[in-house]
Amino acid sequence: MRFLEDILIVFRRDLKEYYRWKLHLVFDVLFPLLDVILFTLVWGSILGGGFQGYGMMTKENYIGFLLSGMVLWTFVRHCIGGEFTHIFVEEKHRRTIQYLLASPINRISIPYGKSIMPILRATFNSVVLILVGLTLGFVFGGNIFLIILIISLTFLTFSGVGLTLAALGAWREDFADMGWLISYSLEISAGIYFPIDILPANIKNILMSFPQTQAVQAMRMLVIQNASLVQLLPFLLPLIFSSAIMIIIALFAFKFVERKAILVGI
Amino acid sequence: MTNAIEIANISKTYREENPGFLNTLKYLFKPTYKKALEDVSFSVEQGEIFGLLGPNGAGKTTLIKIILGLISPTRGNIKMFNWDIPKEKSKVIDRINVVFSRAGCYWNLTGRDHLKFYGKIYRVKNLDEKIKELSELFDLSDKIDLTTDKYSTGEVMRLNLARALLNDPELIVLDEPTIGLDPVIALKVRDFFLKLNKEKGTTVLLTTHYMEEADRLCKRIAIIDDGKLVAIDTPANLKNKLKRENVCEFGVSNLTGEVLAKIKEKFERCTYYDDQSQLRVILDKLEDLSELVNFLKKNGVKVSSVHTEKPTLEDAFLYITGKGLRGEEDEIS
């Protein structure tokens, strides 16, 4: 019970910090909006036709092709490229971590509580993206529950990566900073802005074995081709497996840093 | 009565941290260790204000972190209200609170948000009333609804003091609580802790750089130097380790750091001066006085006056540790 209450306490604090700084909201509307304008209207007009016939992308579904990847990616970006990997580093810099650790707060509730705000922000970003897509006339296909399932599995996998980096970041800050690098690398390798089918076959095959690429492919199959659960299973099963592995690794990382902290302090 | 804190034979050895990647490999195969605390034992009675003094790097903060269960000792035991720390920390954690010298804040939150957050963690009842009471006590009522990035260093410290009192702790650990506060507020804070101790019987463990603060507040003081406990007694008894004739104050001119270093070398006793015109020396015996005067003259230092002084806690500290509170370099700067 205390664990759940503490999660809510941490989340409420983050929510207050969010709305006390009004620019947070402006950024959260503006960034996805600018992204989608740049990639759909500008690059779509220039390159859209050039990719004709690669993978699932056609000139007609270019907006949907991009948006389905971008919606999913907002969740990944909030897990590993944003504030999430810095949750402990930030508390260290503000010199508040020692007060938290000396208080009765349930320690594991801190990262759980702090993961709620990224989910909300990613959801908000996604809504902005979807609204733009609808305005531009794209009709989203696919079962809503399957969409939520793919987003959830992707979030679980990459929040595991994010939590691992966040926990290790409490020990060595470089790990937290690596989140940006990993996020950009994954973004490119997932083929968010281009069909990976344009790459040489061997590179494509390697990329297809990564969870980020499988998640994006599954999302596109669902949104563009209205795929069924059975058709998505080859993508979903590895995602389930990788999310379980990443959460276990994250818990080990957290325990490792907790042990390190009790030995030398953080 | 149960002691608030019981520390038995605490030692702490750190594996030294590695600056840089290449050194990481070097230290991995040939680690070096640093002793932060060595066989420290003492107890703090319930309702006592207990001072912990020591020069920078003496091990005070390490000891405080061990007491709070934030780091584990290499050897030894700690009990807080008879509960083993860190094993049974959860039994006492909501009965204690702490203020560290470098106060921390959530800069995008208001003072009220900040107190509410911690109040909820400690499950404080009537939180709004408590916040009102504490913000009035620490002169924060006007600023409590402003974000803390608009607070001065002193106000941040006062906010942290208010935070530390949210749960009405039975034991409060104060690590340099008046650092950065203006003298009026610092005095108010000292008075407040005396009152708190007197009226509610709150146990206070205090570390401070201000000797007058320790002298005024503490019932007993422990002095730690190089990780070892070198003295523990009441302020009066610590001062009584020196006689009036041991403490000499000279009015001087032309005194340089170089000469001061020579004095220290020759007399092997603690010497310090507040400015270029006053030299305060602790002598083992009165007979050393004439020798010191001759020595000063020989080194070009003009002596305008000599008189003995009543020993202060700072004199006692220097006598016991041979160091200033801010470290050796301060004495001859």
Instruction: Decide if A261 touches B, using CB distance below 8 A.
Output: yes
ipTM, interface predicted TM-score of the complex: 0.82
Structure-token pair, residue A39: 């990639």
B256 or B207, greater pLDDT: B207
A218 or B317, greater pLDDT: A218
Q: Are B159 and B137 contained in the same domain?
A: yes
Domain of B151, in residue numbers: 3-233
Dist. CA B22–CA A258, nearest whole Å: 25
Q: Rounded to the nearest 5°, which phi and psi values hold at A60?
A: -70, -35
Instruction: Decide if A21 touches B, using CB distance below 8 A.
Output: yes
B17 confidence band (pLDDT: 50, 70, 90): low
Using the 8-state DSSP alphabet, how is residue B327 labeled?
A: -
B268 confidence band (pLDDT: 50, 70, 90): low
Q: Are B151 and B254 contained in the same domain?
A: no
Domain final residue, candidates B210, B233, B256: B233
pLDDT at B323: 64
When the pLDDT of each residue in chain A is averaged and rounded to a whole number, the result is 85
Interchain proximity A99–B147, CB inside 8 Å: no
Contacts of A264 in chain B (CB under 8 A): 14-15, 17, 71
- Within 278-317 of B, beta carbons closer than 8 Å to A belong to none
- Within 47-86 of B, beta carbons closer than 8 Å to A belong to 65, 68-72, 86
- Give pTM, 2 decimals: 0.82
DSSP letters for B280-325: EEE-SSTTHHHHHHHHHHHTT-EEEEEEE----HHHHHHHHHSS-T
- Answer whether residue A32 shows pLDDT above 60: yes
Convert the pLDDT of each residue in B110-164 to its tens digit. 999 999 999 999 999 999 999 999 999 888 999 999 999 899 888 888 899 999 9
- Answer whether residue B51 shows pLDDT above 90: yes
Work out the number of other CB atoms within 10 angstroms of the CB of residue A216: 27
- Answer whether residue A53 shows pLDDT above 80: no
Decide: helix, strand or coil at residue A136: coil
Q: Are B313 and B215 contacting, i.e. CB atoms less than 8 angstroms apart?
A: yes
Distance (Å) from the C-alpha of residue B33 to the closest C-alpha of chain A? 12
- Answer whether residue B218 shows pLDDT above 50: yes
Q: Are B223 and B257 contained in the same domain?
A: no
For residue B257, what is the domain's CATH number? 3.30.70.100
Query: For B50-77, what is the mean pLDDT?
Result: 89
Calculate what percentage of chain A has a pLDDT beyond 70.
Answer: 92
When the pLDDT of each residue in chain B is averaged and rounded to a whole number, the result is 84
Decide: helix, strand or coil at residue B110: strand
Interchain proximity A96–B106, CB inside 8 Å: yes
Q: Are B185 and B253 contained in the same domain?
A: no
Q: Are A51 and A195 contacting, i.e. CB atoms less than 8 angstroms apart?
A: yes
Degrees to nearest 5, angle at CA B81 with A92 and B47? 95
Q: Are B214 and B279 contained in the same domain?
A: no
Q: Rounded to the nearest 5°, which phi and psi values hold at B82?
A: 75, 10
pLDDT at B26: 64
Q: Choose among B65, B113, B118: nearest Cβ to A265.
A: B65
Q: Are B79 and B173 contained in the same domain?
A: yes
Q: Are B231 and B238 contacting, i.e. CB atoms less than 8 angstroms apart?
A: yes
Q: Are B100 and B126 contained in the same domain?
A: yes
Dist. CA B276–CA B250, nearest whole Å: 11
Interchain proximity B106–A264, CB inside 8 Å: no
Contacts of B96 in chain A (CB under 8 A): 102
Q: Are B211 and B69 contained in the same domain?
A: yes
Q: Are B45 and B176 contained in the same domain?
A: yes
For chain A, how many residues are written? 266
Convert the pLDDT of each residue in A234-262 to its tens digit. 989 999 999 999 989 988 888 888 877 77
Which of B86, B125, B87, B109 minimizes the C-alpha distance to A96?
A: B109
Decide: helix, strand or coil at residue A135: helix
Number of domains in chain B: 2
- Within 86-105 of A, beta carbons closer than 8 Å to B belong to 94-105
Domain final residue, candidates B233, B260, B289: B233
Minimal-distance CA residue of chain B relative to A2: B121
Interchain proximity A263–B72, CB inside 8 Å: yes
Dist. CA B147–CA B113, nearest whole Å: 9
Domain final residue, candidates B181, B214, B233: B233
Convert the pLDDT of each residue in A208-237 to its tens digit. 888 889 999 999 889 888 888 999 999 899
Q: Are A35 and A137 contacting, i.e. CB atoms less than 8 angstroms apart?
A: no
Q: Are B219 and B300 contained in the same domain?
A: no
Give which of B75, B117, B122, B174 to mutate to test A binding, by max A Cβ within 10 Å: B117
Q: Are B263 and B295 contacting, i.e. CB atoms less than 8 angstroms apart?
A: yes
Dist. CA A88–CA A86, nearest whole Å: 6
Query: For B220-235, what is the mean pLDDT?
Result: 91
For residue B25, what is the domain's CATH number? 3.40.50.300
Estimate to the nearest angstrom the gap between the alpha carbon of B100 and the chain centroid: 10
Q: Are B256 and B302 contained in the same domain?
A: yes
Q: Are B161 and B278 contained in the same domain?
A: no
pLDDT at B197: 92
Give the DSSP H or E segment for B73.
none
Dist. CA A228–CA A126, nearest whole Å: 22
